[in-house]
Structure 1
């Protein structure tokens, strides 16, 4: 029993460490403020976004085996990806853990660019 508990604790610590490293991308220099673990309601169901720039309806999803290790988790994400833009106007950014870890500044540039583009008023009535 003690070995099983130890393995569980080590796995939890590894997930927390990965999540912390990824959040450093969102907290980097020049990044807009975001909400971590943002709840949204779609079609009467509550969904949890990894992080979101609420001011421009831009969720940032962090993909990888640590967060999407099962087929069920991935299926939930796909259903949410379809429902959010259609009903609420959210545009999603997805990045893999590998990319967030290996290319943090490129991910920051991409997030800032999309965030800025979403702030520009449109003439098409949206």
Structure 2
């Protein structure tokens, strides 16, 4: 954001600029460069990243974004546990990390998954 302050007078779309910078920083952190492997793109006039090719990493990113958007209905603890599970941690690993019994983790996962299934059914979609 310090870059935005220095360039403020030249920014025509500050939100789009911030989104683009954040996307590039995330890609650099995840993949070691400003672009994901197999993804080509350019920045449009509004500052958004225009992706012209797809890859399995991009498909994973889209699925993760959809998942994170859908879990917003969950209570914070269930959301935290479900995200850790989505990232590949086992209930035992989650329990150790959060200093709680594994049965509590499994119970939270069960309730979170049930809530997610209900939401997906209401939306007419399906869980992947």
Report the TM-score, using the length of structure 2 for normalisation: 0.28
Report the TM-score, using the length of structure 1 for normalisation: 0.28
**Bigger radius of gyration, 1 or 2?**
2
Which structure shows the higher strand fraction? 1
Which structure shows the higher helix fraction? 2
* Relative contact order higher in (CA < 8 Å, ≥ 6 apart): 1
